[in-house]
Structure formats: structure tokens, C-alpha cells
Chains A and B, each alone.
Chain A
């Protein structure tokens, strides 16, 4: 059974960079596509972007200018980096797996709440 676990700081200052890592266990990161999805407190879900094991990426245009998603197959991990954060970036950040870039998400990680505040 594949498990995903997000890790990273829970508090980031405005204008700084948010960095999160998702560790995949119970299976290989290869041959799948790996996404980040976020959910502001009390609100709905927003797809952030994905990365393939090859390193190929696709980003939501709303975040593209500030976003980098990368993969480290040797560690079975992929990462998110979001620059110049504001309070609007406060959310639970989930990592999730899909078979291809345009596909359903299953499974999901448990989520990592990131608060942007000074």
C-alpha cells in the first residue's frame, strides 16, 4: 500500500519561500505522476501542479510565476517551492498520486498546514 507523507514548516513569513516535501513509501515514485493540491482553511480544493518521475512538470497558471515542483527519485520524494508568499497562501497542502498528469488522485497524503504570518 502506497503511503504519502508531507513534511515542512508550519509557519512561513510573508514574502518568504514555502518549501514542502512529500515522501512516498510502500512503492516506487517511478511511472506515476505526483501532484500538490491545497485547501485554505474552511474552503475548497485547488490543484497546484504536478511532476513526473522524469522531472517533467505542469503548473496551475495562477501560481506558475512563483512555483517550482521537483522530484528526487533516489529518495522517493518530490517537493514544492512557492516564493513570495502572502496570507492568501495559508492552506493545508496535500500531495497526491495519479497515473498520468490528467487523472484522478489516489492516494493522498494526510496534509500539512502552512500558515503565512509574521
Chain B
């Protein structure tokens, strides 16, 4: 199965800071990589589909990029409400798999 490795596992950031989360796939998955935000006691919410396509209603400070095996989720000018765990997910191969998650803490 495709292993997705996110980095970092945890990051503490200040408001208005820029943060980049990376997701590395164990094999080429093209652009079949999606990003979710999960806040405590909530279900995951889709932010970015197919590596770089932002979902309707998602703030423009969220952007995604990459292809093949290396992907990024960037949050520009972080806000307090962005405190959450972020997961990448690949749908290129079955079984579909997720990264281990990156927890963002806002100071």
C-alpha cells in the first residue's frame, strides 16, 4: 500500500505566521492527493482536492501544491481558527491511505 508521511507531526505557530506542511508518498500518485482539516471532536473537512484545487468556501490563505511523490499544504497568515490536525489522503491506489496527521497549535 502507499505510505504517506507528513512532516512535521506537530507545529506551534503564532497568528499571521505562514506554515507549510509536507506529505511524501512512497510511490508516484500523480495528483490524486487531498487535504483535510479536522478540529477536535469534529469530522474531517475537505480543504484541497487533487493536490491544488481549493474547495468552495475554504479561505484563500489555504493552498496546495505538488505532484508525483511530494506535496505541500500552505497556510498563509494563520488565524486562531486554523488550530487543527491536517491530514493528506491518496486516492490513486487501493487501499486508499492517509498521512499520520500534522497538528497545528496556535500560540
Contact = CB atoms under 8 A, between A and B. Distances in A.
A60 B98 CA distance: 13
A102 B96 CA distance: 7
Q: Give the secondary structure class of B's interface.
A: loop
A103 B34 CA distance: 9
Interface residues of A, number: 21
A105 B89 CA distance: 9
A44 B87 contact: yes
B44 A45 contact: yes
Contacts of B55: 106
Contact of B46 (A62, A106, A109): A106
Contact of B43 (A60, A104, A109): A109
B7 to A, nearest CB: 14
Interface of B: 32, 34, 36, 42-46, 49-50, 55, 87, 89, 91-101
Interface of A: 44-47, 58, 60-62, 94, 98, 101-111
